[in-house]
A and B are shown apart, each in its own frame.
Chain A
Amino acid sequence: MSDTVRSPAGQEEARYRALQAVDPRAPGALETFTTGLHDESWRVRHAAAEGLRRVPDAQGVTARLISVLGERGETGARNAAAEALAGMGPVATQPLVHLLEHEDPDQRKLAADILGQLGHPEVEDVLLRALSDGDLNVRVAAAEALGRMGGPAAARALEGLLDTPTPLLRLAALEGLASLKRAPPLERVMALVEDPALQRSALRLLGLYAPGVATERICRALASPVRSVREAALVALGTQAGALGPYERGELDAVARSVLGGIPGVTERVAQALDGEDVQVRAGALVAAGALGEASLAVPVAEVAREDRLLREVLFTLGQLGPDGRRLLLEGMGTLSLPARTVAAEALVLLVDATSVPELCALLEWAEDDLRAVVVRALGRTRSPQAVAPLVELLADPALSGIAARALEQLTVAHPLASLTALEAAVEQRATPAAVAVLGRLGGARVLPLLRRLARDEEASWRAAAVEAAGRVDGEAGLELARGALADESPRVRIAAVRSLGQQGGKEAATFLGLALKDEDRGVRVAAVEAVGAAGAKERSADLESLVRHGDSGLAMLAVRALTKLGTVGAGVLWDALSHPDAEVVKAALAALASAEASADGAALAVSLLGHPRWDVRVAAARVLGGLGRPECLLALEQALSVERDALARAALADAVARLSSGR
């Protein structure tokens, strides 16, 4: 025998593997796993608990597990049995309810604990009765269980316990009400918040009330010398703010500001909380920081962005810290973590003015791509002529050219001449074809000669840019260049031509688009399908109809959407599209139904999709039926609603039922 297998770890592994190898259907499996529940190793006990869940005789397993719960002195086995019972599901409910009658209070307590974990609302009454148990531990366990899964009756009972003389029960009641998010009358909680033993739980509950008195009491707790009390207060403050939209916080912020402003050292405390581990505490600290409007907190606030879940609050709070806070951010940009830098830049976008260009350009020098995108937007907002040159330069960066082009458009409103001059220079120096597109958009007819010249350029990217830009500048010239470009050897140029034709519209464009729909290149065909819809070229409907049956789902989906735009979707085509294996094609067809004249056929088709395996198709079908307003579909919608499990689909079905019921 090797050393490894003789070692405790090796022996444990052997027992673990042996249990994993047991067939749960084999005779004796129940006893083997039950023995495993008593193993000294938690891994082996865990494997035994998992194995028991797979034994087919669930009732027998439950009974055996309950017997293990009664084994005094076997703490590990009892915990493993409790874990297994909590995973057994509804079959364990009744035996556990019986166990609540057991003479041993320990077993009654375990029963209440596990029932709480099972979370089946039908045992609410039983747990309510357990609140009168003779044993305090059982009463507390029942209160905690009700706090996990209780309905209105449980909430009422927990509220009743707030007056009990037993502090432990009052505590369990407060915790339970907080978990259930049920707020009793404010004055009852306000009384309990003065009790040091209950203070933290009562504060947590205060977070459920509307801003005002509760906010004031929560904020006063930030003066507490006890860190855990301050943290409970911050959690409550975060909860209060969370119930409001970020822009509906006026009253809360005003109350918080008035109280927090009078607490010595509060800024340091908030800074400390912003750097803490607990997400809820940090959320509350953000609210406090925003209410204080304390610029010196800008950097710690930005650093909270390392927690994704708090991103929105961080952005909002930075907005509350004013220009001084943003200046501090800009100064500290180089030392911030990446997420903090990104939100800091986002906040700076709102602050920038014509003097900010040098700082923004310095950021462009070293910043990461995500951040550079934000900086580019900020440059557009400066409205400074100094921002034109860096933006034109950025048109050469494929990742940023789209954003830079839009930022340039913003600048052109204020500085048309400077922008056009810089763009023309960029094109002359052949900096990037992206400059051609922007120049075409901004320059108008004066740049047409340049575009004609570029349409004959030896590089395809320049030809494509010129052809597409010309379409935006002048219809006639655009058509002429597009026609020539359709014969270009480069698909990129042909795609540009097709897009241009889509913008032109008209008979001639429709004729050319017919050719493009048969192009050898998929990209050109895709662009052509979209262009037919954009151009309103109804004469191409037959071509599109044949594409609905195409094996390429992308083409089929686009064809249906284009036909919808044209308003020429026939019933046959719809039927083909609705039975397509790709959900996006089906949804495109449903959208066509919604926009078409309400017809019995259309409604019947939509009804047939209420049972579609994909939730998004069922949602789309419900929306269409709600929109068609045909009362004969109501029954089908109600039936679908009664069996629907997906939350979004249920909401769409409920809305459709309501619309048809009310005749909206």
Chain B
Amino acid sequence: MPRFDEGRPEMTLEEFRLLRDHVYAHCGILIHENMKFVMERRLWPRLEALGIQDFGSYHRYLRYDAQRHAELEAAVESLTTHETYFFREPAQLKAFCEELLPILEKRNAHTRRLRLWSAGCSSGEEAYTLAMLLKDSGRFNDWDVEVIGTDLSRRVLAVARRAEYGPSALRATPPDLLERYFIPVGVNRVRVRDDVKAWVNFGHHNLADVAGSQLVPRTDVVFCRNVMIYFDQAARRRVLGVIRDRLCPGGYLLLGHAENLLSLGADFELVHLKGDLVYRRPELPGGEGR
């Protein structure tokens, strides 16, 4: 059987740790030691592209080269998967539509304003999904609505803005929604309709950058699904601090199904919906803060 790793440089444990620490310092993403193979494999193309022979030299490149900032972003992009698709985790989205949206409609009736944040939005599928769900609910059509999608990777944001997707991204999209919210643009490809796009804004944001988070407005709901898995406990706390800060009191945080806030302090309260468990930033005792 042919080997898939033939002729490629091996990453020593020492090189792995140096690169891992460098990435961690930049964005809080922690790569566990059992992921050395994954890191090695994902960074091989970077070494090939730069004509660098080994990972030690690559580490020095990231430390000292004039292009180091751009390369660090490229490395982080390679290391983080951007796997996502429309209408992912349908049970959670159902609970969001049937249980949270009525609450939000009532709570914000006086301002008629709604803000959602898709934190770690990757190529935009989640942010557009949320906009489609809001439209489909019929509750917010003449409201001031904005879905903010942010990601660390500038490259995926370019894809998100283009809003064109293929079959893999659409594999969980119900046919009627496909019909309503997408326009065919080629063989097996569709584009998100302009009225949905009009509700969505994308921006570059490193979740580990506390100061930079001020650019994200106060939101009613944060979707941060399958993002925490990249962080260690300390970075998770920081990220949760950022999210808490950007959530209105009483606002909701929805995580991926494999994630929870156990052992991360109790800044959020667990809310048992009929169809899902979500977290909520507690109301301020005096009711201030909105």
**A313 nearest CB across to chain B (Å):** 10
Q: Name the residue on B nearest A340 (C-beta).
A: B168
Chain A residues near B50: list those with CB within 8 A.
402
Known: A2-B286, A334-B188. A616 touches B83 (CB 8 A): no
- A402→B49 contact, CB < 8 A: yes
Known: A309-B35, A350-B4. A338 touches B168 (CB 8 A): yes
- Cβ of A400 < 8 Å from any Cβ of B? yes
Partner of B4, one of A315, A341, A553, A554: A315
**11 additional contacts (CB under 8 A) given A10-B285, A337-B85, A648-B13:** A13-B282, A13-B283, A46-B265, A50-B265, A311-B38, A335-B167, A349-B4, A350-B4, A374-B45, A402-B48, A557-B64
- A308→B45 contact, CB < 8 A: no
Partner of A616, one of B17, B45, B60, B167: B17
Report the separation of the CA atoms of residues A402 and B168 in the bound assembly, to the nearest whole angstrom: 29
- Cβ of A662 < 8 Å from any Cβ of B? no
- Cβ of B111 < 8 Å from any Cβ of A? no
- B45→A403 contact, CB < 8 A: yes
Known: A4-B284, A311-B37, A339-B83. A43 touches B266 (CB 8 A): yes
Known: A370-B45, A399-B49. A337 touches B83 (CB 8 A): yes
Query: Which 3 A-B pairs give the minimum distances between C-beta atoms?
Result: A554-B64, A4-B287, A13-B282
Chain A residues near B35: list those with CB within 8 A.
308-309
Chain A residues near B18: list those with CB within 8 A.
616
**A18 nearest CB across to chain B (Å):** 10
- B171→A4 contact, CB < 8 A: no
14 chain-A/chain-B pairs, Cβ below 8 angstroms: A2-B287, A5-B286, A10-B283, A13-B284, A16-B282, A43-B266, A308-B81, A334-B188, A335-B168, A336-B168, A373-B49, A400-B49, A584-B64, A619-B14
Report the separation of the CA atoms of residues A338 and B83 in the bound assembly, to the nearest whole angstrom: 6
Q: Name the residue on A nearest B42 (C-beta).
A: A370
Q: Name the residue on B nearest A646 (C-beta).
A: B17
**B53 nearest CB across to chain A (Å):** 12
**A555 nearest CB across to chain B (Å):** 8
- Cβ of A113 < 8 Å from any Cβ of B? no
Chain A residues near B113: list those with CB within 8 A.
none
Q: Name the residue on A nearest B48 (C-beta).
A: A403
Report the separation of the CA atoms of residues A291 and B85 in the bound assembly, to the nearest whole angstrom: 31
- Cβ of A644 < 8 Å from any Cβ of B? no
- B4→A319 contact, CB < 8 A: yes
- B49→A309 contact, CB < 8 A: no
Chain B residues near A557: list those with CB within 8 A.
60, 64
- B66→A522 contact, CB < 8 A: yes
**B83 nearest CB across to chain A (Å):** 5
Q: Name the residue on B nearest A620 (C-beta).
A: B14
- A339→B81 contact, CB < 8 A: yes
Chain A residues near B266: list those with CB within 8 A.
16, 43, 46-47
Report the separation of the CA atoms of residues A225 and B35 in the bound assembly, to the nearest whole angstrom: 35
- Cβ of A452 < 8 Å from any Cβ of B? no
**B95 nearest CB across to chain A (Å):** 19
- A309→B4 contact, CB < 8 A: no
Chain A residues near B13: list those with CB within 8 A.
648
Chain B residues near A13: list those with CB within 8 A.
269, 282-285
- B78→A7 contact, CB < 8 A: no
Report the separation of the CA atoms of residues A315 and B4 in the bound assembly, to the nearest whole angstrom: 7
- A9→B4 contact, CB < 8 A: no
Chain A residues near B110: list those with CB within 8 A.
none
Q: Which parts of B23-67 form the interface with A (CB within 8 Å)?
A: 34-35, 37-38, 41, 45, 48-51, 60, 63-66
- A584→B63 contact, CB < 8 A: yes
Report the separation of the CA atoms of residues A373 and B83 in the bound assembly, to the nearest whole angstrom: 18
Chain B residues near A406: list those with CB within 8 A.
48
Chain A residues near B269: list those with CB within 8 A.
9, 12-13, 43
Q: Name the residue on B nearest A316 (C-beta).
A: B4
Report the separation of the CA atoms of residues A338 and B78 in the bound assembly, to the nearest whole angstrom: 12
- A523→B168 contact, CB < 8 A: no
- B4→A403 contact, CB < 8 A: no
Chain A residues near B265: list those with CB within 8 A.
46, 50
Chain B residues near A334: list those with CB within 8 A.
166-168, 188
**B176 nearest CB across to chain A (Å):** 21
**A376 nearest CB across to chain B (Å):** 9
**A204 nearest CB across to chain B (Å):** 19
- Cβ of A369 < 8 Å from any Cβ of B? yes
**B51 nearest CB across to chain A (Å):** 5
Q: Which residues from chain B sit less than 8 Å from chain A, CB to CB?
A: 1-4, 13-14, 17-18, 34-35, 37-38, 41, 45, 48-51, 60, 63-66, 78, 81-83, 85, 155, 166-168, 171, 188, 258, 265-266, 269-270, 282-287
In the complex, how many residue pairs between chain A and chain B have their CB atoms under 8 Å apart? Answer: 125
Report the separation of the CA atoms of residues A349 and B82 in the bound assembly, to the nearest whole angstrom: 23
Chain B residues near A374: list those with CB within 8 A.
45
Chain B residues near A306: list those with CB within 8 A.
81, 83
Report the separation of the CA atoms of residues A341 and B1 in the bound assembly, to the nearest whole angstrom: 21
Interface string of A401-429 (1 = CB under 8 A from B): 01100100000000000000000000000
Partner of B168, one of A12, A309, A341, A373: A341
Chain B residues near A315: list those with CB within 8 A.
4
- Cβ of A178 < 8 Å from any Cβ of B? no
Report the separation of the CA atoms of residues A349 and B167 in the bound assembly, to the nearest whole angstrom: 23
Chain A residues near B37: list those with CB within 8 A.
311-312
Chain B residues near A658: list those with CB within 8 A.
none
Report the separation of the CA atoms of residues A7 and B35 in the bound assembly, to the nearest whole angstrom: 47
Report the separation of the CA atoms of residues A4 and B286 in the bound assembly, to the nearest whole angstrom: 7
Chain B residues near A369: list those with CB within 8 A.
155
**B269 nearest CB across to chain A (Å):** 6
Chain B residues near A42: list those with CB within 8 A.
270
Chain A residues near B168: list those with CB within 8 A.
334-338, 341
Q: Name the residue on B nearest A373 (C-beta).
A: B45
Interface string of A626-664 (1 = CB under 8 A from B): 000000000000000000000010000000000000000
- A338→B81 contact, CB < 8 A: yes
Report the separation of the CA atoms of residues A568 and B280 in the bound assembly, to the nearest whole angstrom: 65
- Cβ of A465 < 8 Å from any Cβ of B? no
Chain A residues near B167: list those with CB within 8 A.
334-335
Report the separation of the CA atoms of residues A643 and B1 in the bound assembly, to the nearest whole angstrom: 46
Report the separation of the CA atoms of residues A384 and B38 in the bound assembly, to the nearest whole angstrom: 31
- A5→B285 contact, CB < 8 A: yes
Partner of B38, one of A5, A14, A309: A309
Q: Name the residue on A nearest B18 (C-beta).
A: A616
Chain A CB count within 10 A is highest, among B45, B51, B63, B65, for: B45
Report the separation of the CA atoms of residues A247 and B51 in the bound assembly, to the nearest whole angstrom: 29
Interface string of A20-36 (1 = CB under 8 A from B): 00000000000000000
- Cβ of A17 < 8 Å from any Cβ of B? yes
- A247→B171 contact, CB < 8 A: no
- A350→B49 contact, CB < 8 A: no
Report the separation of the CA atoms of residues A370 and B41 in the bound assembly, to the nearest whole angstrom: 11
- Cβ of A193 < 8 Å from any Cβ of B? no
Report the separation of the CA atoms of residues A234 and B74 in the bound assembly, to the nearest whole angstrom: 37
Chain B residues near A5: list those with CB within 8 A.
285-287
Chain B residues near A50: list those with CB within 8 A.
265
Q: Name the residue on A nearest B45 (C-beta).
A: A373
Q: Which parts of A340-354 form the interface with B (CB within 8 Å)?
A: 341, 346-347, 349-350
**B34 nearest CB across to chain A (Å):** 7
**B223 nearest CB across to chain A (Å):** 19
- A4→B285 contact, CB < 8 A: yes
Report the separation of the CA atoms of residues A39 and B121 in the bound assembly, to the nearest whole angstrom: 38
Q: Name the residue on B nearest A405 (C-beta).
A: B51
- Cβ of A320 < 8 Å from any Cβ of B? yes
Partner of A319, one of B2, B188, B258, B284: B2
Chain B residues near A7: list those with CB within 8 A.
283
Partner of B282, one of A9, A349, A366, A648: A9
**B38 nearest CB across to chain A (Å):** 5
Chain A residues near B60: list those with CB within 8 A.
554, 557, 584
